[in-house]
Amino acid sequence: MDSFKIIDPLGIQRVVQPKGVLPQQAEILSTNLPIAEDELLVEVESLNVDSASFHQISESAGGDVIKIQNIILELVEKRGKLHNPVTGSGGMFIGTVAQIGPKFPVQDKPVKVGDRIASLVSLSLTPLNIKKIKQIHQTTDRVDIEGYAVLFASGIFSKLPDDLPETVALAVLDVAGAPAQTQRLVKAGNVVVVIGGGGKSGILSLYEAKKTPGAKTIAVDYDKESIHRLSELSFVDEVIHADARNAVALMDKIWDLTKGKMADVVINVANIPDTEMATILSCRVGGIAYFFSMTTSFQKAALGAEGMGIDVDLRIGNGYCPSHAEIALNILRESPEINRIFMETYS
């Protein structure tokens, strides 16, 4: 297709293959210009690659930065989007608004050319063209590029805040759904376990959980440095050093800490596969197992729980919930401890 004239809020006309599906399900998207009348064109500077995706790409490249670069370039060239076929996940971007289609819904989504924005929709459904990769930041999953992306009329985004470095905002906004959903899920007096608690979404979720009156927070992580950092945080009550792929060992540790009561809510924000059963076995009967992790296997969680006759409320981590961007960014304004960690790591 040479041009996009019609109104198409879901971006269906950009699907090249297979026809008739939505952009997230598509194998290939078109990144052709000019944009449609209801689209937004953004000059992109940085991508925050989803942690599970970056981890998988990095592993398959043996950690070699040139190979990582080539994998990302080939993937985006082939699919017209940064949609990792192994993890199914994407990430998000920051950039400058370059063009606004005359029918883009600016009354609902105020924006002007030159605004600095972060996308709040996944790169797994966002048309993306990379002209050049400038730098890959391996410890923070960030990729600086020259290129452009297209947002559909249904797409959501956030203007970048003035009071935080943009790369910090990028890191926070990528996982904004996790602390916002934690706020909804945790009730007074709950015991909350966060698996992968030392990472971006883990720290934000632990903080948000602890704000609930009487909540007790337990962080689980694999990395020794993360464990050390977690043990110094005022809003983390207990820290467990464990490999969440070993479900029984983690269950035993949670049993000991909770005197057999187990957790009311378990939030899984690990970035590796095979942590479903540790999440489920750490939960009390009738508790909530919340899978924010993109490495979650529906089959492993559902059939694993069924196979053991465990009555736990299994929930999929929706990356969106109302006000999630504000909730997540406000944590950095409220908590000097988290502000310091994110500034040191991501700015």
Footprint on this chain of ligand NAP (rule: CB under 6 A): 50-52, 89, 174-175, 177, 195-196, 198-202, 220-223, 226, 243-245, 269-272, 292-295, 317, 319
Q: Exposed (0-12), middle (13-18) or buried (19+): which is 28, by Cβ within 10 Å?
A: middle
In angstroms, how far is the first alpha carbon of the chain from the final one? 40
Query: CB-wise, 129 or 226, nearer to ligand NAP?
Result: 226
3-state SS, 281-334, equals HCEEEEEEEEECCCCCCHHHHHHHHHHCCCCCEEEECCCCCCCHHHHHHHHHHH
Q: In the bound complex, what is the minimum distance in angstroms from residue 76's beta carbon to ligand NAP? A: 18
Sequential DSSP letters for 226-268: HHHHHHT-TT--EEEE--TT-HHHHHHHHHHHHTT--EEEEEE
Query: CB-wise, 226 or 258, nearer to ligand NAP?
Result: 226
Q: In the bound complex, what is the minimum distance in angstroms from residue 20's beta carbon to ligand NAP? A: 25
Residue entry with tokens 């009967």: 285
Q: In the bound complex, what is the minimum distance in angstroms from residue 189's beta carbon to ligand NAP? A: 26
Locate all alpha helices (DSSP H) within the chain, ordered by sequence.
Answer: 51-60, 65-79, 166-174, 177-185, 200-210, 224-231, 247-258, 276-281, 298-307, 324-334, 336-346
Q: In the bound complex, what is the minimum distance in angstroms from residue 158's beta carbon to ligand NAP? A: 14
Query: CB-wise, 4 or 207, nearer to ligand NAP?
Result: 207
User: Cβ(205)–Cβ(180) under 8 Å?
Assistant: no
Q: In the bound complex, what is the minimum distance in angstroms from residue 175's beta carbon to ligand NAP? A: 5
Calculate ∠ Cα 104-177-284, nearest 5°. Answer: 150
Q: In the bound complex, what is the minimum distance in angstroms from residue 35's beta carbon to ligand NAP? A: 26
Calculate ∠ Cα 176-40-109, nearest 5°. Answer: 60
Q: In the bound complex, what is the minimum distance in angstroms from residue 200's beta carbon to ligand NAP? A: 4
Query: CB-wise, 84 or 190, nearer to ligand NAP?
Result: 84
Q: In the bound complex, what is the minimum distance in angstroms from residue 89's beta carbon to ligand NAP? A: 5
Instruction: State how far the Cα of 337 lies from the Cα of 1, in Å rounded to an integer.
Output: 51
Residue entry with tokens 């990582």: 68
Query: CB-wise, 210 or 229, nearer to ligand NAP?
Result: 229
Using Cβ positions, the residue closest to ligand NAP within the complex turns out to be: 199
Query: CB-wise, 91 or 101, nearer to ligand NAP?
Result: 91
User: Cβ(343)–Cβ(179) under 8 Å?
Assistant: no
Query: CB-wise, 252 or 311, nearer to ligand NAP?
Result: 252
Query: CB-wise, 31 or 53, nearer to ligand NAP?
Result: 53
